[in-house]
Amino acid sequence: MALQWAETPQARMQVQGKALEYACWGPPPDQAPTLVLLHEGLGSVAQWKGLPQALAKATGFGVFAYSRAGYGASDSVALPRPLDYMTREAEETLGAVMDAAGIMQAVLLGHSDGATIATIYGGSVSDMRVRGLVLIAPHFFAEASGLDAIHAAGTAYREGDLRAKLAKYHRDVDVAFHGWHDAWTDPDFTKWNVADVIDHLRIPVLAIQGRDDPYGTVAQIDEIETRIYAPIETVILEGCGHAPHLEKPDVTLAAIHEFCARLWRLEQQEVAIA
């Protein structure tokens, strides 16, 4: 194995000169497919809460999660982040992380920024290891309502208790927050749009969106359905905000389980030779 496959607190892997924290659950990559978890713009390994364990139990897949540089217990980064930081993470780093983890067959499961990174990877990088995408609250273009919510988060960070809450999870909380917030609130970010990567997806996709998500509307899901040429399943959850896996865990887990089970049944089918 390329690294120790175990749920080891504060385990770190070396990727591109950075030490990144990671954790693993369930069977290793040489025994089962792997769900690779890509966290949100203020997330980390720990902030997935009980989802990785639940996924491993429900799907029988291995589950691998890591904190991107600048988050959790991973090495820090210089600020400001470039406005194309999600594209850079997808095209320059994610493949190297999966190499270091020994990933052999994967479903990328991303939340928010992580879902965008997963989509960019699936649509931009030729990697036969990746067999499907699970996108939770993805975003492909800036929306005025989402930018308003990010400005509000900035106020909560400066004047409220958001900084204290995030400091429980991030070694350098100011880098974690400002790397995300300051990119999204840059005036030029209103023009940010990566939806063209959807056109190049050729693997099945499950997209999950909360109807009441302050950071992105169902227009993001509509964009996938309009542009994609691969199989797509969507789940729109009423009375749910930005984190369906935490706010509606049962229905979210069931949807992911069914998607993965169906995907792997298709993978295992023998192709008849005429």
CB–CB of 116/110 below 8 Å?
Answer: yes
The pLDDT value given to residue 5 = 87
- In this predicted structure, what is the pLDDT of residue 2? 58
pLDDT at 186: 98
- Residues of the chain predicted below pLDDT 70: 1-2, 9, 270-274
Q: Residue 3 half-sphere exposure, CB side, CA atoms within 13 Å?
A: 24
Residue 4 has a pLDDT of 82
Alpha helices in the chain (DSSP H): 51-59, 85-88, 95-101, 113-124, 144-159, 162-167, 173-184, 219-227, 244-247, 249-268
- Smallest CA-to-CA distance from 228 within 212, 210, 207, 247 is with 207
Residue 41: the pLDDT is 98
Residue boundaries of the structural domains of the chain: 12-268
Q: What is the pTM of this model?
A: 0.96
- Which CATH code of 3.40.50.1820, 3.40.50.620, 3.40.50.2000, 2.60.40.3710 fits the domain covering 12-268? 3.40.50.1820
Q: How far apart are CA 164 and CA 255, in angstroms?
A: 33
pLDDT at residue 266, as a whole number: 84
Residue with tokens 């609130």: 185
Identify the pLDDT of residue 156: 98
- Predicted pLDDT at 272: 47
H or E segment at 129? Answer: none
The reported pLDDT for the residue numbered 230 is: 96
